Chain A
């Protein structure tokens, strides 16, 4: 029980004291049990006050400190650090929020705000009275980071980590690095192609001795915790050595009897079971797709170096942090959605982007010349019903850019854009202006009255009630309909499932806080970046990748880690092992153990996340959470309930 408590009540300039009578708050608590001193201060976070707090704690031997000021999201760590500087355990500090949840929320009721502030400070005093010194958990951290996903985010994060001197394992499931970016031609605003960008990154990665590049590599199991993750990675061989190249390789590919759709070109073209990389993919060596290969041996006859007897390898990786950069899938429209699947002249935006690159002299699709294109926006995004209510962010800019590129390359193209409002934010707005100047036609509809695609035997017709011309019905008979599809989470959730990564309501991986902790997950040591956590363009993906690289590095760099000591604890006398807590724990942190002759629950502190989910399921109330014990919570409730006359309610 702490009996020498210091209370500091902040004016926050006038942000608090304009609405809360801070002197009255001080007077209301100064004589409370255990309070040694109470002060008001103009700015609690200011250097002068911090120094004064340090002196007060040292000179008076304070064993508990409270600052009543802004939200703990802003300054909890600041004042914990002040406590530490003064030699007081930082968990003997309690923060009281009297700005966001008092002075600002009740600026219409100064008396009410003051009364509320008093109760909140009294509640903090009740909590700090019971606070005990705690020591953060410390444990060694392996200085290495494993990155799952070798697209633009994973590659850029790998380079960032390498630059900081951190060993990196870059693990790519497909046979090539580059991800979606390698599929895109000229990019806005840099003018580079996606392939050129990937080529630059790959070239840099090859120079780094501390980066281990793994393609055809899949993480098949993961154990351990932050600082010490143990991964097993299955590496599929390429079967084709680097010295099988040139004409010999071309002949081997030609001889292969297996032909299948080429996923790189979104099935617009075919490839063989033995195939070489596309220009934007790396490494630039061929590979055999053993899921399709019949092992007929035709390729081996031409190129004897090909070795179909190669076997997959399982390698062990030990890393202090895992960075997940597994990217996205393009949305696939349902059969019949805006005519998709009913006509081969209805394609998606990613298919259209490949089509532009695959054609040279004129835009031809399925043997037909394309001159008039209808672009239908927000397909698979901003859906009024269903899962995809979010905006995919990149598609407005991408389709407008693609339409401009098509016009530049083929000349005689006219685009009709059936939009729900254009979202070319920031510098991308310039592209929209360029498109308008270039004569592209923009139409717009409401979400409950989308355009209609009529598929006829030899023609297509797109109709819209255009709100830009006073809900006039406008129709176009295009040669091609391009559905501007957005991003959806990867269908392959193997990495997410392995690490139990939480997902948000959009089904992308969920960060702890979109603004304040944007690349961390609740799984300590697992960092996310890029489009696996939500739609992003390349710029945004690289931004988050660099943020993730720094965050991962900060975890492993010192070789030692510190964690909040907030964990569940079991009352061994009360526990009767019913298994309810074991069933409830989402992190497998609880197991059965034997104490004497009794079976009881045991918490694995290094796995426990301190969520408290196990607390309410215990039928004998044998589980408590550090800093959220029954005594602490109930004494806070007592303090909050303390002042007002009882108003009996049915």
Chain B
């Protein structure tokens, strides 16, 4: 199967069903473009993402993983940001053990209307990943 016309990094986004996924939807509604090699899997809460899922994405060839976190808007409680931060830290440690550059995992709070912020973050992440690619 042919790849996209323009070279771009493959990024897996973990979004949240009630908060950040609506923002990603709205980015489309607003025709805010970002690379088409960005794929989303929506989960209930960003604090519920398992590090093994993130590591699995790298094993399968994703260049980067981006967690579009609930932030302080999380409807499951205000501890979400801290907990998501903790799992990112935990995953960074596991990535180091596997010689995966920790910068390939990014997290940012994306509220339900943060479409522009999402696109900005993803474009920046894509550029970083392309700059650091070795092929």
Q: Give A residues with C-beta under 8 Å from B.
A: 28, 71, 73, 97, 99-109, 111-113, 115-116, 118-120, 123, 500, 502-505, 510-514, 521-522, 566, 584, 586, 609-616, 621, 625, 628, 630, 633-634, 636-638, 640-641, 643-650
Contacts and interface: CB of A to CB of B under 8 A. Distances in A.
A73 B1 contact: no
Contacts of A613: 45, 47-48, 76, 79-80, 83
17 contacts: A99-B28, A101-B24, A108-B33, A505-B72, A611-B44, A611-B48, A613-B80, A615-B50, A616-B90, A637-B41, A637-B53, A637-B56, A641-B12, A644-B3, A644-B37, A647-B10, A650-B132
Contacts of A611: 44-45, 47-48, 76
A647 B50 contact: no
B37 A116 contact: yes
Interface in B81-109: 83, 87, 90, 101, 104
B39 A119 contact: yes
Choose among A100, A116, A610 the residue with the greatest number of B CB atoms under 10 Å from its CB.
A100
Contacts of A644: 3, 10, 37, 61
A71 B75 contact: no
A634 B48 contact: no
B133 A647 contact: yes
A612 B25 CA distance: 23
Interface in B1-55: 1-7, 9-10, 12, 18, 21-22, 24-29, 31-37, 39-41, 43-45, 47-53
Lowest 6 CB-CB distances: which A-B pairs, in order? A612-B48, A112-B36, A104-B28, A112-B4, A641-B60, A100-B28
Contacts, number: 194
Given A586-B77, A649-B133, A621 B50 contact: yes
A615 B21 CA distance: 20
A646 B61 contact: yes
B4 A111 contact: yes
A586 B12 contact: no
B25 A97 contact: yes
Contacts of A112: 4-6, 35-37
A636 B63 CA distance: 16
A299 B90 CA distance: 67
Given A502-B78, A641-B57, A644-B10, 17 more contacts: A105-B27, A109-B5, A119-B39, A500-B77, A510-B73, A513-B18, A611-B45, A611-B48, A612-B44, A613-B83, A615-B48, A616-B90, A630-B53, A637-B60, A641-B60, A649-B9, A650-B132
A522 B75 contact: yes
A625 B2 CA distance: 35
Interface residues of B, number: 67
Contact of B83 (A566, A584, A609): A584
Interface of B: 1-7, 9-10, 12, 18, 21-22, 24-29, 31-37, 39-41, 43-45, 47-53, 56-57, 60-64, 71-80, 83, 87, 90, 101, 104, 112, 129, 132-135
A99 B1 CA distance: 21
A638 B57 CA distance: 8
Given A100-B25, A109-B36, A641-B10, A610 B44 contact: yes
Contacts of B26: 100
A73 B25 CA distance: 9
Contact of A616 (B1, B49, B133): B49
Given A584-B83, A612-B45, A644-B3, A512 B75 contact: yes
B73 A645 contact: no
Contact of A105 (B12, B28, B49, B52): B28
B43 A612 contact: yes
B36 A637 contact: no
Nearest to B47: A613
Nearest to A628: B43
Given A111-B5, A521-B75, A100 B50 contact: no
